[in-house]
Amino acid sequence: MGLGRLSSGFARNGRRVLLLVTISLLASGFTECYKPMTRNGLPERIHVIAVPAFQNQALHYRIESRFTKAVMDELIRRGRGLRVQSERDGADAVIDGTIKRFGFSSVLLDNNGRARVFEVEIQAAVTVRDQKANKVLYDNQNYVFRGEFEFAQDPRVFFNEEDAAVDRIARSFAESLVSTLVNGFGAIR
């Protein structure tokens, strides 16, 4: 009988300890990890952000306009109330970008030895400057983005697909960059 009461006491104490630990974790704010984000990683004084045309050092035709447009579209979509413009005048912050390198290499070949899947690597310089405080908020002179895309099996449509593929890569690049800015990762404070 003594052993039964002893194990029953341990069970009660174990439940009490578990309850105490759970309450402590909840009271300490541990649940904050799972709250959805309601604001962005930019300072609250930033309401208007300018995205002038990116510079093109990669010498790939029209790539700067595609990447600039993709970043602007993504900021509008995810910027949580930010007004986006191309002109620096009147902006609280400016995103300056330079596409330094745009290259692709084949990753997967088809049965005829033609490349079907390509890996694209974009190397860029991105700086976000608070114009009011004259302070750099984010600076990465070696922002690297990698993605891959697939071409159809018919090589005659290769050039028709290249434009669409570059636009998809530009959108993916913009999603990655805006996530970095909006979520505040790597921001200089």
Q: Which pTM was predicted?
A: 0.69
Which of residues 178 and 189 earns the better pLDDT score?
178
Asked if pLDDT for residue 8 goes beyond 50, the answer is yes
CA–CA gap between residue 93 and residue 114 (Å, rounded): 45
Kindly report, residue by residue over 136-158, the tens digit of the pLDDT.
999 999 999 888 777 666 555 55
Which of residues 62 and 87 earns the better pLDDT score?
87
Residue closest to 187 by CA, chosen among 46, 20, 34? 46
Q: Which amino acid is at 151?
A: F
**CB of 42 closer than 8 Å to CB of 179:** no
**CB of 149 closer than 8 Å to CB of 118:** yes
The CATH class of 37-182 is: alpha beta
What is residue 1's DSSP assignment? -
Q: Where are the domains of the chain?
A: 1-35, 37-182
**Average confidence score pLDDT of the chain:** 77
Q: What is the mean pLDDT of residues 86-103?
A: 94
Give the pLDDT confidence score for residue 85 in this predicted structure. Answer: 95
Asked if pLDDT for residue 98 goes beyond 80, the answer is yes
Residue closest to 122 by CA, chosen among 44, 176, 81, 84? 176
**What is the band of 73 on the pLDDT scale with cuts at 50, 70, 90?**
very high
The alpha carbons of the chain give a radius of gyration, in whole angstroms, of: 25
Kindly report, residue by residue over 23-63, the tens digit of the pLDDT.
555 554 444 443 333 445 678 889 999 999 999 998 778 88
